[in-house]
Each structure stands twice: as structure tokens, then as C-alpha cells.
Structure 1
Amino acid sequence: MDDLLSLKLAALADPTRRAIIARLAQGEATVSELRKPFPISQPAISKHLKVLETAGLIERGQAAQSRPRRLRIDALEETAAWFEQVRSLWSDSFDRLDALLDTAGPQQGEQ
């Protein structure tokens, strides 16, 4: 998992980290604010944040001593672009299959 996309996808595979991303989509937040909805320890939330930071999905701010985290929209856009590319390939493949099936017409025994 050396490439950044793999790191992003691995980070997003965890439901707690996805919830953190969803919260940060509303605006930056401190570690203690991010921890509130979860029944986990401070070290555990810090580990989740570290994974998200390493993947480039969030960054640390510099507001006094609180160091709030904020979402990196550009990193999410890159990931979404990859998904869109894959979706487009699948969609094109299904369109070609539909066209092939349409040209094949009904098989023997079908009416």
C-alpha cells in the first residue's frame, strides 16, 4: 500500500474514520470535539486521525494549542475522480453488453 490512493481507500474503509470525515465536512474541529460521538479513548481517536492525516485526507490547523483538524477537499476530489473513472468504465462495458445483446436478437426457443 505504497501509493496514496491505496492509503486513502484503506483509511476510508473504517466506519469511525468515515464518520470523522463526515463531521469535518461540516467544518474544522478539535480532537476532543471529534472524539465526543465515539465511545473510544483519546489515544484511539488520535490513531484514527493519524491514519487520515497520513492518507492526506485531513490536515492539522494551527489555532493556538487546540490544533483543529480540517478536511482536505482536494484529496477527496482525487479519490472521487478515481471512482468516477471506474464507474465510467463499468457503465461503458454494460452499455456495450446491452448493445451486443440487442443485436443478437432472441435466441432459438425464445419468443
Structure 2
Amino acid sequence: MTRRDIFQAIADPVRRDIIELLAEDSLTVNAVAEKFEVSRPAISKHLKILKECGVIDFEQKGRERFCMIQPKTLIPAFLWMEQYRNLWDEKLDSFEKYLNKLQTKNLDDEQNK
């Protein structure tokens, strides 16, 4: 079996959407599949990868299999991304200042016409 990690789990946008969905509530496999416009086998494959990464677990309740998020496994990805937050905050602040400066210049140009 291929060893998978949290970064493989979040690398795919469909899996990120599944994580977001399951963060709100536990759902059956069918309920998860109904939320997406991809085939059920494709959703099953995404769920399998999320299970292998430890992001979700399944619980059998009667005839239904419920998917439940395992939030602790997301911590390594969060910590890795957190180290870059200051960098992005600085870049976004700088970009905002630049946009404000452009807007002020454009307003000044309009008033001077």
C-alpha cells in the first residue's frame, strides 16, 4: 500500500471540498457523493485516499456507512501553512497599500481634469 500523508489529502480540490463538507457534519457516502458532479466511483476513490491519510474514518450504522472527519490529522498541514501566514500578510498589506495609492492617484487625476 502507498504511504499517504495529509498533504496528499489536501492536494486535490475535490478532497478539500469533501473535508470542508465533513467538517460541518458526518454524512453517508451517498450523501457526500450527491454533493458533487463527479461519479460515485470517483468520490469513493477520494474518500479512500482521505481514509488512508487519516483525515476521515467510516462508521457503519445499520446499512449506511458514515464519513466522519478526524480533525487532529489536519494539524500538520495547518502548522506548515501557518509558518507562511506572516509572509502572505505582509505581501497582501503591501498590495493593499499599492491599490490604495493607485486609487488616490486616479481620484486626484479626475479632480484635476
TM class by shorter chain equals 0.5 to 0.7
CA distance in 1, matches of 2:73, 2:8: 14
Alpha-carbon offset, residue 43 of structure 1: 1.1
Q: TM-score, normalised by structure 2?
A: 0.66
Residue 33 (structure 1) aligns with:
31
Can you give the 5+ residue segments of structure 2 that lack an aligned partner in the other structure? 91-113
Structure 1 counterpart SS, 2:57: strand
Q: Give 1:87's match in structure 2, choosing from 66, 84, 100.
A: 84
Map Cα deviations across residues 39-62 of structure 1 (whole Å, 9 max, x no partner).
Answer: 222211100000101111111112
- Poorly superposed stretches of 4+, deviation over 2 Å: 81-84
Residue 40 (structure 2) aligns with:
42
Alignment of 1:64-79 (within 5 A): 64-79=62-77
Q: Give 2:54's match in structure 1, choosing from 56, 61, 65.
A: 56
Alpha-carbon offset, residue 3 of structure 1: 6.5
- Aligned 8 A contact 2:6 2:76 in 1: no
Instruction: Give the letter aligned to residue 58 of structure 1.
Output: I
Alpha-carbon offset, residue 26 of structure 1: 0.6
Q: CA RMSD for the aligned pairs?
A: 2.2
CA distance in 2, matches of 1:60, 1:37: 18
CA distance in 1, matches of 2:13, 2:76: 20
Greater fraction of residues in strand: 2
Deviates more, 1:74-83 or 1:60-69: 74-83
Can you give the 5+ residue segments of structure 1 that lack an aligned partner in the other structure? 95-111
Q: Among all aligned residue pairs of Structure 1 and Structure 2, give the percentage whose two residues are the same amino acid.
A: 34
CA distance in 2, matches of 1:48, 1:75: 16
The number of residues matched between the two structures is 87
